[in-house]
Amino acid sequence: MNAEYSRPADINKFFAQCNLNLHIGFYNDHKHLVSNQISKIDQELQKPGLDAKRKKDIEFTKLFYLTSYRQHMIVNCFLTMYSHFEECLGVTCHLCSKTMPQNKRSGLIRFKEHFEREHSVNVSQGLQWTFLRDCEKARDVLLHAAGNITLARNRQKVEDLPKRNPTLFGIDNSRIFPKEDLLVRFSHAIPEFIDWLTDQIENGNTTTGSNVP
């Protein structure tokens, strides 16, 4: 194996990036197929003498492809990428701590407290931590309430996401949704954060406390 990936932590990061790239590639390929389908619909709409019912049906199909279907593609890709992120954190626990978090917290805070207790690493100061926490807020509402922010426990924090990151998140009809740019940034943020975290642990770089959750 290439010396660049000789350490278990580097292999973890390598396969994480591979998985993320596969999901981005799948999304892009699927988007291309949908674009081809829309082109076929446009060609049919230009045909003279098109039956009125048929025209109405394929116009609706085109609208569905351009709106709901495309958005579902982004959401599904984002949620799957997030699951890989949690997998990376779990693998990092196995590699560096030889155990999974034993605290009763949930989400990223569970891992944050684990690495602080086991390795004296202040995860809050990590590269991309604030961004990853934003992703967690969106993920929780998407997974547990189909994006409906009126059902979110931390509604104000979720509503603030598009205000602070308008190119990454949006809200429509009281539902939070990720944008395409979020997928790209997320795919880079995950290995960058895992790389920083393992470096802090292996080199014994401890940090002082922080009130960033």
> For residue range 193-213, what is the model confidence (pLDDT) as tens digits?
998 998 898 887 655 444 445
- DSSP letter at 55 equals H
Question: Region 165-180: what's the mean pLDDT?
Answer: 96
Residue 202, pLDDT score: 85
Residue 99, pLDDT score: 82
Whether the CB-CB separation of 65 and 37 falls below 8 Å is answered with yes
Q: pLDDT (tens digit, 9 = 90+) per residue, 95-149? A: 888 888 877 788 999 999 999 999 999 999 987 999 999 999 999 999 999 999 9
In a domain, 29, yes or no: yes
Give the whole-number percent of the chain exceeding pLDDT 70. Answer: 92
Residue 37, pLDDT score: 94
How far apart CA 54 and CA 133 sit, in angstroms, is 46
In a domain, 79, yes or no: yes
Length of the chain: 213
Range of the domain at 144: 7-202
How far apart CA 116 and CA 92 sit, in angstroms, is 14
Is pLDDT of 69 > 70? yes
161 CB burial (10 A radius; 0-12, 13-18, 19+): buried
The amino acid that residue 149 corresponds to is: I
In a domain, 17, yes or no: yes
Domain total for the chain? Answer: 1
Query: In 3D, which of 208, 205, 147 has the Cα closest to residue 179?
Result: 147
Question: Region 56-70: what's the mean pLDDT?
Answer: 92
Give the other-Cβ count within 10 Å of 53's Cβ.
8
The answer, as to whether pTM is greater than 0.95, is no
- Kind and range of the H or E element at 170? strand 169-172
Please list the helix, strand and coil fractions of the chain in percent, rounded to the nearest 5, in that order: 75, 5, 25
Is pLDDT of 26 > 80? yes
Whether the CB-CB separation of 193 and 108 falls below 8 Å is answered with no
In a domain, 212, yes or no: no
In a domain, 213, yes or no: no
Residue 8, pLDDT score: 67
Of 57-66, 82-91, 160-169, 202-211, give the lowest mean pLDDT range: 202-211
pLDDT band at residue 7 under the 50/70/90 scheme: low
In a domain, 1, yes or no: no
In a domain, 12, yes or no: yes
In a domain, 145, yes or no: yes
Residue 105, pLDDT score: 82
pLDDT band at residue 6 under the 50/70/90 scheme: low
SS (H, E, C) 93-162: HHHHCCCCCCCCCCHHHHHHHHHHHHHCCCHHHCCCHHHHHHHHHHHHHHHHHCCEHHHCCCHHHHHHHH
110 or 14, which is more confident = 110
Residue 208, pLDDT score: 44
